[in-house]
Amino acid sequence: MIPRGIAKRYATALFNAALNADVAREIYEETIAFRQLLTDNSSLKSFLLSPQIPTTDKKHLITASFKGRATELFIRFLLLLIDKKRFPFVEEITEGYGYLYERHEGILEVRAITAVPLDDALKQKTIQKMEQETGKKIRLAEEVDPEIIGGMILVMEDKIIDGSIRFRMEKLVRELDEIRV
């Protein structure tokens, strides 16, 4: 996801600091793990987002929980978000960091929307084809949507390739509507 607004400023600041400290890869992995931790642990997320919990308690929890388990830069960044009352944006910021890191590393996320889950052979073939087309390393994100009936829709940054059966059927209906009888 391309970061916007507050998330963009904080994600960019974290990314630049990580590059300067030569810990960009470590921070990338930590942002992924932290987002997953918040997803898996709703009580932790509620605690960190609650306006009733004192800032000092939140900062103590972050420091005690992550000291020795995360880079000092990432811990300081989380503490800064708490101090500046920007913690509600943490997931968007960490996603934005991931986007900036992957872009820096030449990795492009392509979302593949299919009616049924892709098998491994088709995943690999799709990745290889997209890498040839773009000249970048592809990270395939899968999404299942039975409404497309069949085929595949590929979404990458600002480009959509719609090869779904639903799209083809809608196109055929439009063409038939245009035929004068």
CATH number for the domain harbouring residue 174: 3.40.30
Q: pLDDT value at position 28? A: 97
Checking if the pLDDT of 124 tops 90, the result is yes
Domain of residue 172 covers: 107-178
pLDDT-above-90 percentage for the chain? 79
- Taking the model in full, what pTM does it have? 0.76
Task: State whether 94 and 141 are in the same domain.
Answer: no
d(CA 18, CA 10): 12
Task: State whether 73 and 43 are in the same domain.
Answer: yes
Tally of residues, the chain: 181
**Per-residue DSSP letters for 59-103?**
HHHHHHHHBTTB-HHHHHHHHHHHHTT-GGGHHHHHHHHHHHHHH
Task: State whether 70 and 120 are in the same domain.
Answer: no
Strand order of the sheet with strand 107-114?
A: 137-144, 107-114, 151-156, 159-164
Q: pLDDT value at position 111? A: 93
Express each pLDDT in 125-181 by its tens digit.
999 999 998 899 999 999 999 999 999 999 988 899 998 888 888 888 888 888 876
Task: State whether 10 and 71 are in the same domain.
Answer: yes
Looking at 59, 78, 103, which one is the last position of a domain? Answer: 103
Q: Facing residues of 108 across strands?
A: 138
Looking at 56, 75, 103, which one is the last position of a domain? Answer: 103
pLDDT-above-70 percentage for the chain? 98
User: How far is residue 134 from each of residues 121, 137, 151, 156, 157, measured CA to CA in Å?
Assistant: 20, 8, 21, 10, 12
DSSP state of 158: T
Task: State whether 77 and 159 are in the same domain.
Answer: no
Q: pLDDT value at position 4? A: 77
